[in-house]
Amino acid sequence: MPEPQTPELQTVGTDIPKTPKHTKEAASQQETTAKVQPSVPKSQTEVKIPSVDQQVQMWEPSAISRKRGPILPGLVSTEPASTPYSLEKAEITAPLKVDPQKIVVMAKFDGNQRVLKVGVSSGFFVKTNVLGGQWIKRLNLKGITAPNMAVVPITEAGLDRVLKGLDAEDSTLIRESLAKVDSTQGQSVGAMVSDFAPGTDVEQLVDAPRYADLDEYKNPPKTPEAATDAYVKMLEKTARKSPLGKTLPAARKPPFGGSDGWGDELSDQPPAQGPGFQAWLKDQDTFVNELDTASNISRAMAKYKLQVHLAKLGAPLAQKAIASKMDIIVNQSPKFKKWLGTSTGRDAVIRQICLDVIIGQEDRLINFQGGNFKFDLNQNTLVDTDNGSKSVDPLTAHDLTQPLPKYEAWLDNIRGSGSLPEALVQKLAQGELGPDLATVKLANVRAILKQVAKEADKVARLNPKEDGATAMIDRAAKIQALL
Ligand SMILES: Nc1ncnc2c1ncn2[C@@H]1O[C@H](COP(=O)(O)OP(=O)(O)OP(=O)(O)O)[C@@H](O)[C@H]1O
Ligand SMILES: [Mg+2]
């Protein structure tokens, strides 16, 4: 089994809700340039996933721990149950996305690469995500899958180990937000491990044509001199005048500089050729690679352009990032779009939105969020990595005699004044996949929704002891009643 490559420091995504006006701004939730997909061994060891009620995992701030003064003040665990993973044994290998509220990293457990996610004050979503993923796998619908997912217990020592595997600045920020977790406000810390999902985030596949349109893509610098010039030009400070005509200090053009200092560490002063130049280049390569472009498409594009220039100069991280982007633009994105144009592809997307309606994941196709699923072009399959970042209701077991007020209200909200299938047709047409989907027919959506609800009911009845089975049966019935 080949050792998986470690991806360089890269941020990956955020679930930033898109407003219609700023769709493309938010679309850049995917890191667009230095996205080198870590390669992962083909045959991952199957992991026996304990049911979620076996996996006691949430941490809550408590008076006891405050008195005790633990490493992470304010947190104490319920008894951890058996799970194949332990945070205490995690070896963080590369960050995927780290912010004060969320840690998504590649990590090795007993030598196997996995994806570890820690929700700092939103442990609730972690559990929802795992349950959703487990049901998606069980349902085994054509063209849709999810990686194996499991909730992991959080211990002080485990969290400490994870924090030590991050860079110092991130770990300080996360420690600060951990100290603020407040169970009286319904907050908790939760962690999950999933298998590394193959494929490319759909967000990147739909964004590819915008990059293909750029001058830097169509007409990259032909010589190292041209590349250096272009790099410097992007970063050079220019004189400015205030609206009243007063001269202001020279500043960098947007999106560089500004109040948050994006790209401040970059230098537009390359030394002459020689060792000095090589040292400068190495620094620039690292700094640019680490630029965070979450939720800002103009920054993502700027980062890509800088990397085109650095790649021409031989910078290894930039070369890797550009090669990966090229593969997406030239190979993956066209194949994905072609698949969307076939009835197999279109029906899989319809099936996906119907599945999202059942598991309650709003942020994928109901409100388009392409960072929450991937397309695996070897299997022609959608891979659902995130089934709970914005979820209506946990699938956790509840009493069948109780109504599902939240879920029903959510369905009503999606439906608006029309029928549920009509609403889904509209969501698909308005989403970013809309232009690439061959016409979506109402009758087709209705038929697929019926099949998915039927299948959900059947599979839930076959697995009555699994957490969420009751909710699945209930929801399937609610949906069937609307058809
Ligand atoms: N199991 C996985 N395999 C491969 N990549 C993954 C996996 N899980 C997450 N990722 C990558 O990490 C990114 C963020 O993960 P995810 O969407 O699950 O986290 P999140 O908690 O919703 O954070 P965000 O708010 O940034 O979306 C995804 O866009 C995806 O590229
Ligand atoms: Mg997400």
Higher pLDDT residue, 412 or 259? 412
By DSSP bridging, strand 144-145 and strand 381-384 are parallel
Q: Same domain for 342 and 408?
A: yes
Rounded mean pLDDT, 347-373:
95
Residue 22 within a domain: no
For residue 236, count other CB atoms closer than 10 A to its CB: 13
Q: Same domain for 173 and 154?
A: yes
Residue 52 within a domain: yes
Beta bridge partners of 248: 240
Under the banding of pLDDT at 50, 70 and 90, the label for residue 447 is very high
Q: Same domain for 323 and 359?
A: no
What percent of the chain has pLDDT above 90? Answer: 57
Residue 235 within a domain: yes
Can you list the alpha helix ranges (DSSP code H) found in 118-268? 123-139, 156-164, 168-179, 202-212, 215-218, 224-235
The total of structural domains in the chain comes to 3
Q: Residues 105-141: pLDDT tens digits?
A: 999 998 999 999 998 887 778 888 888 999 999 999 9
> Tokens 């860079």 appear where?
167
For CA atoms 428, 429, 433, 438, the dihedral sign is positive
Q: What is the residue range of 364's domain?
A: 337-482
Instruction: Determine contact, residues 357/449, Cβ cutoff 8 Å.
Output: yes
Q: Same domain for 306 and 357?
A: no
Letter string b/e over residues 357-367, b meaning 16 or more CB atoms within 10 A of that residue's CB:
bbbbbbbbbbb
Q: Same domain for 356 and 326?
A: no
Q: What integer pLDDT is reported at residue 193 of this predicted model? A: 93
Q: Same domain for 371 and 463?
A: yes
Nearest CA to ligand 1 atom 9: 385
Q: Same domain for 311 and 392?
A: no
- The residue among 288, 307, 331 that closes a domain is 331
Give dist(CA 436, CA 224) in Å, integer. 38
Under the banding of pLDDT at 50, 70 and 90, the label for residue 396 is low
Ligand 1: atom nearest CA of 203 is: 29
Q: Same domain for 325 and 379?
A: no
Q: What integer pLDDT is reported at residue 405 of this predicted model? A: 64
HSE of 289 in the Cβ direction (CA atoms, 13 Å)? 24
Q: What integer pLDDT is reported at residue 182 of this predicted model? A: 81
- Of 30, 97, 118, 204, the one to substitute when testing ligand 1's pocket (max ligand atoms within 8 A of C-beta) is 97
Q: Same domain for 343 and 324?
A: no
Q: What integer pLDDT is reported at residue 347 of this predicted model? A: 98
Q: What integer pLDDT is reported at residue 65 of this predicted model? A: 41
> For residue 392, what is the domain's CATH number?
1.10.1070
Residue 143 within a domain: yes
Higher pLDDT residue, 173 or 227? 227
Alpha carbon of 15 to ligand 2 centroid (Å): 5
Mean pLDDT of the chain: 82
Residue 26 within a domain: no
- Retrieve residue 47's tokens: 């992991």
Identity at 85, one-letter amino acid code: Y
Q: Does ligand 1 have an atom closer than 6 angstroms to the CB of 114?
A: no
Q: Same domain for 357 and 292?
A: no
Burial class of 217 by CB neighbour count within 10 A (0 to 12, 13 to 18, 19+): middle
- The residue among 331, 348, 375 that closes a domain is 331
**Which ligand has an atom closest to residue 373 CA?**
1
Residue 379 within a domain: yes
Q: Does ligand 1 have an atom closer than 6 angstroms to the CB of 115?
A: yes
- Retrieve residue 123's tokens: 């442990």
> For residue 146, what is the domain's CATH number?
3.30.200
Q: Same domain for 48 and 165?
A: yes
Residue 3 within a domain: no
Q: Which range, of 78-87, 112-121, 296-305, 428-437, averages the lowest pLDDT?
A: 78-87
> Tokens 């800088």 appear where?
306
Angle, alpha carbons 459-464-469 (nearest 5°): 70
User: What DSSP state is assigned to residue 89?
Assistant: G
Q: Say if residue 365's pLDDT is above 50.
A: yes
Q: Say if residue 264's pLDDT is above 60.
A: yes
Alpha carbon of 371 to ligand 1 centroid (Å): 7
Residue 31 within a domain: no
Rounded mean pLDDT, 457-464:
97
Alpha carbon of 394 to ligand 2 centroid (Å): 16
Alpha carbon of 30 to ligand 1 centroid (Å): 10
Under the banding of pLDDT at 50, 70 and 90, the label for residue 154 is confident
Q: Residues 243-260: pLDDT tens digits?
A: 888 888 888 999 998 888
Q: Does ligand 1 have an atom closer than 6 angstroms to the CB of 35?
A: no
- The residue among 139, 166, 196 that closes a domain is 196
Q: Same domain for 155 and 279?
A: no
Q: What integer pLDDT is reported at residue 78 of this predicted model? A: 45
